[in-house]
């Protein structure tokens, strides 16, 4: 293995989102790892408890869908916003429905496949078929699929396809 060139950057960099919670990190980790198959909680740093009990979680690592996240209980100074969201690439309608229903439980639905979960984190729950239809070589079909999507909360593939098919018949 060769030595790095002085002043050069490493060739492998790991970037992980870090989520700032008021004090709900432990509940969020439990929730998210129940929603995404194959997820896990890693290192958890807890506040020392003078009585010897389990202290409050200060920070932790957890993995969702193969992506490592870090979380902190940092207090109420900062809130989540739609300026940062996590997009879920769903294989089909069943997967779209699973994530929409689970993440939306206790949260708030928005438009075009976006929602906020019960912790205020924004998600885009997007079936792959949406992007296939938006890239349709027939611009009339692509436009019709886009217009249909703009009127949806949860993305419904059958409705997108029906709109695209209707547009190609006219």
**pLDDT tens figures, 51-98:** 878 889 999 999 999 999 999 999 999 999 999 999 999 999 999 999
Neighbouring CB atoms inside 10 A of 51's CB total 6
Q: Are strands 40-46 and 57-64 parallel, antiparallel or unpaired?
A: antiparallel
| Owner of token pair 């200060």 | 58
Contacts of 40 (CB under 8 A, 6+ apart): 33, 62, 63
Nearest alpha carbon to residue 145 among 97, 155, 124: 155
| pTM of the complete model beyond 0.95 | no
Q: Which two tokens stand for residue 60?
A: 């932790």
Number of Cβ within a 10 Å radius of residue 74: 16
pLDDT at 124 over 70: yes
Give the single-character DSSP code of 143. H
Tokens 């008021």 sit on residue: 22
Rounded Cα–Cα distance for residues 134 and 73 (Å): 40
Q: What's the whole-number mean pLDDT along residues 106-114?
A: 97
Task: List Cβ neighbours of 62 (8 Å cut-off, separation of 6 or more).
Answer: 29, 32, 33, 39, 40, 41, 42, 68, 69, 71
Mean pLDDT of 33-46: 97
């Amino acid at each position: 293995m060769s030595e790095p060139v002085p002043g050069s950057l490493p060739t492998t960099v790991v970037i992980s989102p870090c989520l700032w919670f008021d004090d709900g990190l432990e509940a969020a980790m439990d929730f998210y790892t129940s929603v995404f198959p194959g997820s896990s909680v890693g290192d958890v740093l807890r506040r020392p408890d003078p009585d010897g009990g389990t202290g409050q979680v200060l920070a932790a690592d957890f993995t969702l869908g193969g992506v490592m996240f870090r979380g902190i209980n940092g207090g109420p100074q900062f809130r989540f916003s739609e300026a940062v969201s996590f997009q879920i690439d769903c294989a089909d309608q069943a997967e779209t429905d699973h994530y929409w229903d689970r993440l939306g439980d206790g949260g708030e639905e928005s438009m075009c496949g976006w929602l906020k979960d019960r912790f205020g984190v924004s998600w885009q729950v997007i079936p792959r078929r949406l992007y296939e239809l938006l890239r349709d070589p027939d611009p009339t079909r692509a436009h019709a699929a886009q217009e249909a999507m703009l009127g949806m909360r949860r993305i419904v593939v059958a409705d997108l396809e029906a709109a695209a098919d209707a547009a190609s018949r006219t």
